[in-house]
Structure 1
Amino acid sequence: MVPLEQRIEELEMKLAFQESTIEALDQQVIKLNAIVDEQQEKLRILVDKVQQSEPSNMANPADETPPPHY
């Protein structure tokens, strides 16, 4: 019976190690998600600022002069 008890103990140790590893990975994923969220928000703000400061390449149709054939 000793080999069976030894195998069970080894499995319990492996399980405990895996649980610890999964918890550490879960915490890292949480941190990375927070970083990604922060970066997305900064990117959105940057895009908004660029769009506001950059004049549109399309002219307002009312400001356009009519073509020469008119």
Structure 2
Amino acid sequence: MIDLEQRLATLETRLAFQDDTIDALNTEVAQLQERLLRMQRALELVARRQTDLAANLPADASEEPPPPHY
């Protein structure tokens, strides 16, 4: 009977540690999800800025006026 009680206590201890681990992992996953969303928004902003800058560049280098010293 003592062996059974010891096994039960061991299982309860392991379950408590697993619950703690699951909670910690849940928190980490939530933080990583937030970080991923911020990075996606930043990437979209960079892509939009790059598109805007590219739209303002001349399509051909010959269309660009010569520098003032010519």
Q: Same fold (TM over 0.5)?
A: yes
Aligned to 1:54: 54
Question: Which residue is 2:66 aligned to?
Answer: none
Distance 2:22 2:12 in 1: 15
* Matched residue count: 58
Return the TM-score normalized by structure 2. Answer: 0.77
Higher RCO structure, 1 or 2 (CA under 8 Å, sep 6+) = 2
Q: Distance in 2 between matches of 1:49 and 1:42?
A: 11
Matched residue type, 1:38: R
**Equivalent AA in structure 2 for residue 5 of structure 1:** E
Identical-pair percentage: 34
The TM-score with structure 1 as length reference comes to 0.77
Aligned CA-pair RMSD: 1.6
Q: Within 5 Å, which residues of 2 pair with 1:27-42?
A: 27-42=27-42
Bigger fraction of residues in helix = 2
Counterpart-to-counterpart distance in 2, 1:24 and 1:32:
12
Q: Which runs of 4+ in 1 moved over 2 A?
A: none
